[in-house]
Structure 1
Amino acid sequence: MIRAALISPLLLGACGVQATGDEVTRFAPDYQGVETRLLDGDLVQFDVSMTGARDQADVDAYAECAAAQYALIRGYGFARHLRTNVYEEGGVWRADAVYTISPSLPRGLRKLDAEVVVAHCAENGIPTV
C-alpha cells in the first residue's frame, strides 16, 4: 500500500527548509560582516549585512549575536536591546542595531545574557564579532 504524506509548511520552517510552490530549498544564509561603533560609554551600534535571510528575524538574530559577543569581549556579561532598523534591497538584508552593554543585569524588556546568547549563536551557526 502506498501512503501519501502531507508535510506542514510550519514543520518545514522549523527544520530550516523553505517551500515555495513545488520547490523545497534549505536555509543558506551568507553573513557578510559586522561593523561596530562605540557611540558613548556603554552604547554600541552594530551594522550587519547578509544575504539568504528568510525574514527580518534572521537579521535581528545576527545583530544580537554580534552584540552578545561584543559584550563578552569588553568584559561585560549583559546587553540590552534599544532598537533595530532592518531593510532589504536587492536581496541584501541590512540592520542597524543599538545596544547597551553592562556588567550586571540591566533593566528593560529585551536583555541578553551574553554567554547564553553566544552559545546559542554557535549552536545555530550564526557568526559573532
Structure 2
Amino acid sequence: MLVNALIPTMLPATVLGLSACTPDCGEGMECVSDVTGPSYLGVETQLLEGDLVNFHVAMEAKPDDEAAPEQVTRYAECAAAQYALIRGFGFARHLRTSVDYVDNAWRGDAVYTISSALPRGLKTIDAEVIVSDCKENGIPTV
C-alpha cells in the first residue's frame, strides 16, 4: 500500500534527511547509496493542492532490472509515509505512480493524499508501519 502526503512546494534537501551524497546527483536532490541494493538518488516533493502531494524519486539501476519499477514505487511510498509523519498525519492514500527509465536512472512520479484518520479507499497506508518497514529494509525516507 502507498502513502499520500502534503508537502510544501519544495522541501529543501537539508530537510529530506538523506545522507551519503555523491556528486552525480541532480540539483536539489540528496543521494543515498546502499552497497547491497539500489542507489537511491533522491526525493523531490511538491504540494499540489490541499492534502495532495507529488513525490519525484530517482534510483540508479540497470535499464533491464525487472525489480526496479517496484523498488522505485516502494521508495516513493517510504518518502510519502515519512512526510505524512513529519506533517503530523498518520495515514496516506496512494493515488497514482508512474515509473520510467530516463537519463540512466529509474524515476518515479507518485501522488498521495495525507490525513489524520484512515482514509477511504483500497490503497491506504499506516505511515508509522511503513516508515518502520522502510528503515528495516534500508530504503530512505524524507
The normalised TM-score by structure 2 is: 0.70
**Residue identity in the other structure for 1:69:** Q
Structure 2 match to 1:13: none
Residues 66-96 of structure 1 show CA distances to partners (whole Å, capped at 9, x for unaligned) of 0000000000000000000100135400000
Q: 1:31 and 2:44 equivalent?
A: no
Higher strand share: 1
Q: 1:123 and 2:123 equivalent?
A: no
Residue identity over aligned pairs, in percent, reads 63
Q: Against the structure 1 CA distance between its residues 57 and 27, is the aligned structure 2 distance closer, same or farther, given a 3 Å change threshold? A: farther
Q: 1:42 and 2:55 equivalent?
A: no
The normalised TM-score by structure 1 is: 0.77
Deviation at 1:34, TM superposition (A): 0.3
Structure exhibiting the larger radius of gyration computed from Cα positions = 1
The alignment partner of 1:126 has SS state of: coil
Count of paired positions: 104
Mapped to 1, the partners of 2:109 and 2:101 lie a distance apart of 12
Structure 2 match to 1:94: 107
RMSD of the TM alignment (CA)?
Answer: 1.4
Q: Which structure 2 segments of 5+ residues have no match?
A: 1-34
Q: Segments of 4+ in structure 1 off by > 4 A? A: none
Higher relative contact order (CA 8 A, sep 6+): 2
